[in-house]
Amino acid sequence: MTAQGAAGSAQNRYGVGIGWRREIAGFVAGLPGLRFTEVVAESLPGRGPGIPDGLAALRDRGVAIVPHGVRLSLGGAEAVDPARVAHLAHCAVALTAPLVSEHIAFVRAGGTEAGHLLPVPRSRDAVDAIVDNVLRTQAELPVPLALEPIAALFDWPDDEMSEADFLCEILERTGAELLLDIANVYANARNRGEDPLTLLDRLPLERVAYVHVAGGAEHDGLYHDTHTDAVPAEVLDLVTALCERHRPPALMLERDGDYPAAQTLRDELDAIADAAGLPRVTG
Amino acid sequence: MSRELLAQRQAALVAAIVAGAPLPPGFDEPSVRAASDALMRKRTGEVAGVWPALCASLGPQWNGSFAAWADGRPPRGALRDGWDIARSIAATGDLGPAAAVELAEREVAWRYDGVAAPRRRWAGARRVPGGLLLQVAGRVWRSVRPGGNGLGRFSS
């Protein structure tokens, strides 16, 4: 599913998928048209047979599986932990993954874990730190790396670059692909009072390896990208707007708790497929 | 901003979000608080997922109790967070029976000193309300009754 590998050809498209989670493993395995999924890399064991049976069965039937890291802390001022990079590489090999992905964010600093993805300042020095960490990571990976910009509820006080300039420079200097989370684009634009299309129009959409779609909800005037609520119509409209500009090789639903009935998940997957102009994978 | 200054500023922000330190100047306080609150909700849910009996034993007080306990304590992962709060409740004698069994299952299966990450034990035994837990090579048995002659396989 590398952006280059999928260029234009309908046969190379992975279409619509959903993130693999233990709680919905049966549902995911039962999707007749599924061609790709993603698994949180840190949820997989480091050595030994390790890969859960359900995931191995998907791999063995030809479903592409992308290990998705959440703890590398690529945006940290400190160098990435080689053991964490090695784990991501191990996951890629064990799953015969076409690529791996991680976030443009930091999750720990000064020895304290935040337990969450935090935004980095959009500054030249932060870009340098991220680029160094991405290059260190790429050097150890057997497959391409796609970088995901996060949803941030706050910004740093001294941001000196626009989000588009910040992301474009990181992608350009690292050669990494883009994991575009369209719900994050929506959340950030809504919380900053901006137009999400402004960012879409400035990003290198031909470098999008795949797209995350997720639900969220408003709390106290801010939109939270919760992954536990329904996908709002505005996010589906953005999927359509994205695909009108450049249809990515793959789009997937991220659901991380409060799992709804199977029919509700099927309806969400169908809605994403319809919004993207792709075949439904549910039957 | 140099790399060292970036490191210091990131550390100060993390400390403000999860360890109760003051928010560095310039940040929008309500927005950072919203992020901090969202993080606490997520953390509470994750611990409940790993420690279901502990969560159930506190019922409607779970969210508030966990948030009060976790305030100023950086997250150490759902297993350790739940373990630490379960031990602190157990120390006051207020841990419900099902939550006590849940805690005992972890205690027989892992060696955890409250400081370093838990490590698996080869074997262990521990008293629980109404019996005994025995763990060997990852399998856990619970005695049917104290001093009884039957060990029923409990879980593995």
pLDDT cut 70: percent of chain A above it: 95
Which residues 84-123 of B are in CB contact (within 8 Å) with A? none
Q: Does A53 touch chain B (CB under 8 A)?
A: no
Q: Does A224 touch chain B (CB under 8 A)?
A: yes
- pLDDT(A252) > 80: yes
Q: Give, in words, the CATH class of A10-276.
A: alpha beta
A167-195 core/surface letters (b: 16 or more CB in 10 A; e: else): bbbbbeebebbbbbbbbbbbbbbbbeeee
- pLDDT(A122) > 80: yes
Q: List the domain boundaries for chain A.
A: 10-276
Return the number of CB contacts < 8 Å for A and B: 102
Q: Does A79 touch chain B (CB under 8 A)?
A: no
- pLDDT(A1) > 70: no
- Interface test mutation site (partner B, options A154, A222, A229, A259, max chain B beta carbons within 10 A): A154
The pairs formed by A220-223 with CB atoms below 8 angstroms and a separation of 24 or more are: A220/B34, A222/A153, A222/A191, A222/B31, A222/B34, A223/A186, A223/A187, A223/A190, A223/A191
The residue in chain B having the minimum alpha-carbon distance to the alpha carbon of residue A121 is B6
- pLDDT(A12) > 70: no
- Digit-coded pLDDT (tens) for A179-236: 999 999 999 999 999 999 999 999 999 999 999 999 999 998 999 999 999 999 999 9
Q: Supply the pLDDT for residue B149.
A: 45
pLDDT cut 70: percent of chain B above it: 91
Rounded to the nearest 5 percent, the helix, strand and coil shares of chain A are: 40, 20, 40
Q: Does B31 touch chain A (CB under 8 A)?
A: yes
Tokens of residue B14, six digits? 């993390």
- Digit-coded pLDDT (tens) for B106-150: 998 889 999 998 988 888 888 877 778 888 877 888 876 544 444
The residue in chain B having the minimum alpha-carbon distance to the alpha carbon of residue A77 is B7
- pLDDT(B5) > 50: yes
Counting the structural domains of chain B, the total is 1
**B155 band by pLDDT with thresholds 50, 70 and 90:** very low
Q: Supply the pLDDT for residue A264.
A: 97
- pLDDT(A167) > 50: yes
Section A1-14 average pLDDT: 54
Q: Does A78 touch chain B (CB under 8 A)?
A: yes
Domain, as residue range, for B22: 3-155
